[in-house]
């Protein structure tokens, strides 16, 4: 997609996901004029959810901003840190986690979260 195509106004705004080739349709009402900032609101489907990005040495976790002053945290991949991560999620009243991982590094955290009764996706 060219930069000219990205900036054009369409009846139904379309964005192409370059990695998968899928077309994503973004819903919205009045699109306004070119260059005008538009506010987008997404429906909250799971308010008690956190996102987790798992790497070999570091794990990044994001919770809703109203749950903690520091809504995004970085944890080490050591076992004691995985337990600290689970404790923090419990303190933030998180019930569901969405995990993205490189390789097999998700398995230890998955097991700990499973023990604690978190929904994992």
> CA-to-CA distance for 39 and 9, rounded, in angstroms?
15
Q: What does the angle CA 29 – CA 33 – CA 34 come to, to the nearest 5 degrees?
A: 115
Task: Please compute Rg for the chain using Cα positions.
Answer: 19
CATH code of 49-120, in short, is: 3.30.420.40
Taking only the tens place, the pLDDT of each residue in 58-71 is 999 999 999 999 99
Please tell me the pTM assigned to this model: 0.65
> CA-to-CA distance for 7 and 29, rounded, in angstroms?
17
Per-residue pLDDT at 6:
41
Looking at the chain, the domain(s) classified CATH 3.30.420.40 span 49-120
| Strand arrangement of the beta sheet that strand 96-101 belongs to | 72-76, 58-62, 49-54, 96-101, 119-120
Mean pLDDT of 3-28: 40
Mean per-residue pLDDT of the chain: 79
With a CB cutoff of 8 Å and minimum separation 6, the contacts of 21 are: none
């Amino acid at each position: 997609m060219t930069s000219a195509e990205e900036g054009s106004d369409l009846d139904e705004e379309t964005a192409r996901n370059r990695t998968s080739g899928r077309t994503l349709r973004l819903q919205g009402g009045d699109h306004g004029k070119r260059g005008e900032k538009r506010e987008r609101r997404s429906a909250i489907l799971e308010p008690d959810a956190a996102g987790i990005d798992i790497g070999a040495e570091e794990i990044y976790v994001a919770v809703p901003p109203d749950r903690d002053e520091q809504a995004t945290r970085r944890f080490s991949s050591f076992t004691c840190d995985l337990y600290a991560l689970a404790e923090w999620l419990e303190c933030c009243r998180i019930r569901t986690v969405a995990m993205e991982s490189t390789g097999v590094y998700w398995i230890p955290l998955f097991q700990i979260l499973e023990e604690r009764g978190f929904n994992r996706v």
